[in-house]
Structure 1
């Protein structure tokens, strides 16, 4: 698996006014002396040379090692570590084969021995552990450590002697420390393209050729670089019916601009309180010839970033596309503030959003979320449930009558599902069966879920549930809200294998670090996450997000 590793560890301290020292180690390995011809690589060394030039152009002192044996790799690594001083900006780049074994990632030197099935410890001892490397980097106290990974080709030992050593392709997920940014050339389980076709004569892999110009473009933060290269590589791969969506893991709090922050990037001011955002324009630009604005307009829309919209509005003040770009820019500003409000998910946060964007796209959702939070708070204050019966079918004299549990889903404990029934009929069935201690009703599909035990209550503002009076003391409300077909990317810190949804739910609930979790029923895997934003569509994934 060819692997390009560019890992970025950013300290939370503010950037100093003086120029920082920048130092990089770049390693590229094409030739593996103990592997057959079809497992040799062709572009890893060339990719590393191109990255070396890009980093050098941004002021990095570059140490390089090509087709390095393990001892050469270690010696170069030690020289690299010895030159790092506290407060430095540090970069590590690796292109070559990599293997993931039980959640740990290893980089393979050129003299990696051919190993047999069951010889995982030999492989580990003969390679470089990324966990150890990242720990050693962090211990050096660099202000920023920059690293990029393309470990997404087939594992050379995946079928050795009928047994696989490590996963079949790609490296495993990583959980970066605070202030760390890691980029992969493809998603987990995907393969990365060296070329688009046999006629593709470009000397770099598809990922590297798209990454190189972004590393040298002023005004782009690390997150913007990662998202842009992800989109561009995905589009190029789709041209040849291949799926390659580069992953990234973001624990960076403050923006860092590798090629410097463009002085024009802050020229516009974000409007609040309904004030229209205005971008200062300029006309003395050689690109303002008739016709150029149409192509620039298309590019800005494809980039879909504040920077791209700002640049267009400043460069083409008289363009016929200006009104469209201005509208997209304002919508983007609102979306950024809306995402922040969702991440905070407090009444105060939504109130601040409404002050700035009361007539905006998300104003209605903000009000709904505020109301839901108020209802949740009131429900918890009265020990989970109001003192009302679900229907008149339960006599007020019955000490074990069903009590309304508005806004919650009673999770687990199902012993029977009754289909195609009304809410009243569901209530009657449960009330007549002493085994039934609670129920949850799905109005959309007319399903009645009868429960023999009552435990965790999940916030669900559309749920229709009820619990027997005698079970109220066992009711335990949770602050985790569940969404179907959603996932939060790039913040995984722990994976639990062979796990059911409820166990995944409880694991996150008990872990103070966990802000959200994703459960994949098909593979019975649970991913605990340190962030609850951004949430995106992901079929087959159930996402739980802590609401406070």
Structure 2
């Protein structure tokens, strides 16, 4: 367990603003404090910042990052964030690292903070000048003109300048907490005198704190207002802590007024109130995959998707497209016939027989070299980047580059990232990734998706469900046996976990109103259904 304090403060500069023109974020993570000694170094602050940054990118934020910055680099990044903001924009600031409180004011420590030389008020003032003040951060972002300003401070309860190995925001213990201003919401990871869990037990190998995990999960859920999100974080953290016999009740200070603000988008009712069209029916996985490949598909790719989704409503269109591609490819393989000779006017002179041109097989399609993953990002290990290119050009560049074993293509931004391997796998909408078949990256992908648990044994971890669909039901007309288990009085996380841990389960649907979890060995159709959440294994 580490003593972790997460303060989540959201300041609304314009209370009536329901959405912003642009979204810009800065995430800062600091593990390394050379002057403070080995026992005061941190392990997961940078990981927490990376995870929050990835979630914000998925929500449409332009994300700036700073890992282990000095004070000068920290200030430069903060001013870069403010400079990018204009009136009506949304700003998000995240900090994970050490922090302290001097005379009721909070300060966050950069990587090059010096070791204290003495005690007393004068020394506190000296160290405050070497740190980044909370008020400075708030002023820069509020003065930028942004309509919505969100700040997340992740720091621990023990002063790192007085005791070793802890994150601290406070004199000796505890946060310098004041009631948030009108129109703001503040959420702390634990109540006064409580310790925030870093893990849920010795077998918990996650690289982020329990609070940060729940924060990321809730902030990416569509239809959750910021107020509801904060209350949901508090309730879920309490429940998780109780399961391991720990008391942790996040403190919530909510003074927001006016219209609700949504990080991951408003529900249909809120969209109608804003004069926006209601959310379109969520496409099923077959429709999503087909949208990525239909413009550049060959017959092999169409045959593959027909095999994997035999019950799809797109099957008639696939059959027609497959037949047309088969004719085109067969025609391309044929040698053009030699035209018959013209009738001779006189006995022709002897000429050797004309040789038929040698058959030249068509060039292999570079897409056949890759295993594709949809709505999936492979972060890190970039070796090159190309902008304003289509997916086919991205695949071809990776196929022809000896350094490239995998790629990630952002469909929305038309950006191609070539990669030397697969370090991690993240869910990311409108992104296509692929690995070369038979390469080391393919093996890395398998280990990333189904890595053996620590401690050996060689057994695979549960199959992960990386993408879920809101307001979607997975139906099985006339095949009741496919819905092989129904669990009542359940919740979404428990339902998802039950499917991941059951090899028979290939998909699930959770009915929010009835709190019913339905595990499925297969499904025939995805249909629009309000109040349901469904997930499908890869």
| TM-score, length basis structure 1 | 0.48
TM-score (norm 2): 0.49
